[in-house]
Amino acid sequence: MKFLRALVATVLFLALLVVVYLLHIRFFAIDVVFYAAIADGIIAALVTGALVFALGYFRPLGGFEKLQLVVIWLLTGYCLAISVPTVIDRSLSFYILEKIQQRGGGIQHQRFAEVFTQEYMNEHRLVDVRLTEQLASGTIVIQNGCVKLTEKGQRIARAGRYFRQHFLPKKRLLMGEYSSDLTDPFRNSATTVDYQCQ
């Protein structure tokens, strides 16, 4: 009896999540897809939670069980926000598959660097999207044409670099060879560049 009520409530949550998400993306301005999808999950979980606490149909479920369901829905909303719209929005892997399909099912291997620099960057407005996300996150500011890290951005960059160097695979398969290149992608970067600003 309780399991069935919990299952009905969860199906209600998922249906409400889809409705909230579709309304949000169709009728409202979105700053960052990931944040918007998380907000949709929170809204759907809270509304469903309110219904579960208010409707007599769900009375067999205890208060703690209802609270557990709300927590599960919040976690589910978070997982879905990352796994579906955010991945599709920003995934280079999806782009590669879509681009190969667009180009008739095949692209010459040695031309992929050209595809990324001349098509992907422009088609997905990659610089604009990523800078917008960082501005919305408070990790950068743009002053007098210069993009600068905030203190929050400095902390996150340090943490990300530390994690990359110490907790990413040292033997990662890259085009048939195992390499540690991505644990320190700057190791072969140019030491002098002309695009820095103060």
Residues 148-183 have pLDDT tens digits of 999 999 999 999 999 999 998 898 898 899 988 888
| Residue 166 placed within a domain | no
**Statement: residue 198 has pLDDT above 80:** no
Asked if residue 140 is part of any domain, the answer here is: no
Residue 35 reports pLDDT greater than 90:
yes
Q: What integer is the mean pLDDT of 63-78?
A: 96
What pLDDT score does 197 carry?
87
Look at residue 156 and tell me if it is in a domain.
Answer: no
Assess if residue 117 is contained within a domain: no
Residue 191 has pLDDT above 90, yes or no: no
The domain tally of the chain equals 1
In a domain, 75, yes or no: yes
Residue in 38, 120, 48 with CA at minimum distance from that of residue 84: 38
Looking at residue 44, its pLDDT comes to 98
Structure-model confidence comparison of residues 191 and 32, the more confident one: 32
Q: Residue 68: give the domain boundaries.
A: 2-90
The structure's pTM equals 0.77
Work out the average pLDDT over 25-30.
93
**Better pLDDT: 11 or 185:** 11
Q: Read off the pLDDT of each residue in 124-141 and give the average, rounded to a whole number.
A: 93
* Residue 17, in any domain of the structure: yes
Residue 10 has pLDDT above 90, yes or no: yes
Q: What percent of the chain has pLDDT over 90?
A: 73
Does residue 78 lie within any of the structural domains? Answer: yes
147, part of any domain: no
